[in-house]
Amino acid sequence: MTNFSFRSELIKKNSDKCINFIEEELTGSNLIIILRDLIFLSVSIKVHNKEKIHPVIIVNIIKNIIGDNREKPSKTLLIFCVNYLLQFDLRSSDKKVLKSAIKDGIGKTAFIGDLEDAYQDSAWANAQKTTAIFFLSSDNSRGTFDALAEIALQNIKKNGLFIFHLMRAYNFQETKDDNWAFTRCLMSYLIGNKLPEPHSKTKLSPKDIKNEILLNGDIVLFSSMERLWECEYVRIECYQREISHWCSNEVRSSFNNIKLKPLSWVFKGGKNRFIKYTEDLVQCSNKDDTQIKKSLVLIESLRALTKKLNSKQLLILKKRFNDLK
């Protein structure tokens, strides 16, 4: 398929061509191209209900699980992503926001304090303009994105899962031409949601509350924050400050109540077990869309957690899910 653009066909919602490309051309570097284009589409979607699981979370989860077998990537999961994403509308004003900032903000420079104040004060029109000016004045770099991520983590309970997966998706992408799409995605997610003040750092880190979480805590959010804590981002100390505060105020999550089939398979060997379960899940006809997405989030969290648990911690988690035999 010479000169075929998977991204262009996604944007045009040409599902047949996209699926055919996956079926026929899933070789070599094409897997990376497909995943990056799926990620780009997921951060370009117009999201109306911010209480629901954002599409970038689902696509990043599928990317992670597919990574368990890169030699034979799951076509089923890639096709699921195509069909899932094409049900959404895309934002149409990304370029317009930048052009407006250029027109209205010629000669203006935005500072990090201006950016933080606009979101902290819920001055949403100013927040959008300041974000665009800050982005342009920083040479379209990821600096604006990183600063907004810090602001978002002031409310980890609401934003933590989204921020973790968005940042990991960005790291996989890391194409300067797409920086504004990621920044606008994060900006749009934050606008309209009042944020608390920045928190002071505590002495706690994820490892200090891990056993308690495994017993009866929010393993989904914990799994995300534990991984984020260990990343090497430019602003990691700021992220860790907010995560340490969350560690001292950890709360339960609705994800704890998801009903899954017996999870004994999670604790067994076999590198493809998460791929197999996920393929069955996305093809399950007796689960609704919300159940499938929540199950995906929980399964990916367990996948990450079980890689880092000692034998005693594995027993705690098995007991929690009634899998001790």
Q: Please write the tens of the pLDDT for every residue from 272-292.
A: 999 999 999 999 877 788 899
- Residue 325: which pLDDT band, with cuts at 50, 70 and 90? very low
- Residue 324: which pLDDT band, with cuts at 50, 70 and 90? very low
Comparing 27 with 9, the larger pLDDT belongs to 9
- Mean pLDDT across the chain: 90
- Cβ contacts of residue 309 below 8 Å, gap of 6+? 214, 317
Q: Tell me the per-residue pLDDT of 170-224, one tens digit each, with 9 for 90 and over.
A: 999 878 899 999 999 999 999 998 999 999 999 999 999 999 999 888 999 999 9
Which tokens belong to 61?
A: 């989860």
| pLDDT confidence of residue 110 | 73
Share of the chain above pLDDT 90, in %: 73
132: part of which helix (H) or strand (E)?
A: helix 124-137
Q: Is 48 exposed, middle or buried (0-12, 13-18, 19+ CB in 10 A)?
A: exposed
Partners of 90 in the β-ladder: 45
CA nearest to 320, candidates 247, 274, 249, 252: 252
The amino acid at 55: P
Cα–Cα distance for residue pair 7/86, rounded to 1 Å: 12
Cα–Cα distance for residue pair 210/212, rounded to 1 Å: 5
Phi-psi region of 43 (alpha: psi -120 to 50; beta: other; left: phi over 0): alpha
Q: Tell me the per-residue pLDDT of 227-266, one tens digit each, with 9 for 90 and over.
A: 999 999 999 999 999 999 999 987 554 455 555 556 777 8
